[in-house]
Amino acid sequence: MAKFVLLILFNIALFAEPLALKESYFFSDHKIKVNDIFNDLNSSSLIYQINRHKTKVRVKSKVIIKAFKALGIDVKKSSKNYVTFYMESKLDLEFLKLSLANYYKRFYNTLQIDSIQIAPRSFTAELPEVYKIEIPNNSFKRSTSTFYIESDNKKRIFFNYTIKATIGVFRARDDIKRGTRLELTNIKKDRIALSQVKVTPIQSSSRAMLEARRHIRAEHVITKSDVRAENLVVRNQFISAVLREGGLSISFDARSTQEGALGDNIMIIKPDGSKIRATVIGEAQVEVK
């Protein structure tokens, strides 16, 4: 027994952060063991016995923590009063996993998925033959959330899911002052866990040129709210304009009356003093269509 406890304590020592309970777990065996809750701990000691007729049970967090303490394992006090255990349904969930993966890839073009866990919120023996999937708006901002499927007869089945993945981001190499153009000399590529995302990060520096909307600290993961499209044309600037019509291109000098980023439509003044609208296509360059 002493050797067994020492083995558990050795495993715990490998982790810098204290052990903490999650809000919910899934089980296939009604005997909940140490490694069912903390996969990295090499122990199959019993923590809690669930009634074999139950498919869902709520247990006070302090009961679970006390069971760990009896084995010499310290688990920090939970912010939740209860832990919920759901029985794992024997369902083919591959199509649902694929649908979730495709949903997230619409928002993160650098997404790399390690795993997706899905479980019905109540015991479900089988899925309907025909159904549609409804994923709530803004679920892409969370790695753990819920969705539901709806059958032809309007019956809904709700699921909890967790997606473990990483996405490509950009970090500031050093402090970046407001108004500074973002370039590879002052930003660098990195990857972070999807669970770390709070605000949507920028994932590409190849689109319109971007500049800092505010002061950005070194090592900060740069988000969409930190940047804006850089103005390639400023107000009252002499610019080069090109008029394209058919296969012809006519270039002429003009003056801007507005500032504009790549793709913005602005008003310009032609040499004869007349005003027309044009699209910003580059630095001090516009196109008239």
Q: Of 135, 165, 195, which residue constitutes the final position of a domain?
A: 165
Residues 126 and 161 in one domain: yes
CB proximity list for 16: less than 8 A, separation 6 or greater: none
CB proximity list for 275: less than 8 A, separation 6 or greater: 257, 267, 268, 269
Residues 127 and 154 in one domain: yes
Spatial distance between the Cα atoms of 21 and 25, rounded to a whole number of angstroms: 9
| Residue range(s) defining the domain that contains residue 259 | 231-288
Asked if residue 4 has pLDDT above 80, the reply is no
Supply the mean pLDDT for the chain: 87
177: domain CATH number is 3.90.1210.10
Question: Domain count of the chain?
Answer: 4
Q: Answer left, alpha or beta for residue 268, where phi above 0 means left and psi between -120 and 50 means alpha.
A: beta
Residues 240 and 263 in one domain: yes
Residues 167, 102, 122: CA angle, nearest 5 degrees:
105
> Residue 51 to residues 31, 46, 141, 185, 276: CA-CA distances in angstroms?
9, 14, 36, 61, 77
Asked if residue 32 has pLDDT above 50, the reply is yes
The tens digit of pLDDT for each residue in 245-270 reads 877 889 999 999 998 888 889 999 99
- pLDDT at res. 5: 47
Asked if residue 219 has pLDDT above 80, the reply is yes
Spatial distance between the Cα atoms of 116 and 276, rounded to a whole number of angstroms: 53
Residues 148 and 203 in one domain: no
Q: Of 202, 229, 256, which residue constitutes the final position of a domain?
A: 229
- pLDDT at res. 17: 62
Spatial distance between the Cα atoms of 274 and 6, rounded to a whole number of angstroms: 86
Share of the chain above pLDDT 70, in %: 92
Residues 208 and 194 in one domain: yes
Residues 6 and 82 in one domain: yes
Residues 129 and 150 in one domain: yes
The tens digit of pLDDT for each residue in 167-189 reads 999 999 999 999 898 888 999 99
What is the maximal distance between C-alpha atoms in the chain? 95
Residues 210 and 273 in one domain: no
Torsion from C-alpha of 241, 244, 249, 252, nearest 10 degrees: -20
The tens digit of pLDDT for each residue in 41-51 reads 888 999 999 99
Residues 7 and 76 in one domain: yes
The tens digit of pLDDT for each residue in 74-128 reads 998 878 899 998 887 788 999 999 999 999 999 998 999 999 988 888 778 889 9
Residue 229 pLDDT level (bands cut at 50, 70, 90):
confident
Residues 51 and 69 in one domain: yes
- pLDDT at res. 6: 47
Q: Of 191, 209, 229, which residue constitutes the final position of a domain?
A: 229
Residues 159 and 106 in one domain: yes
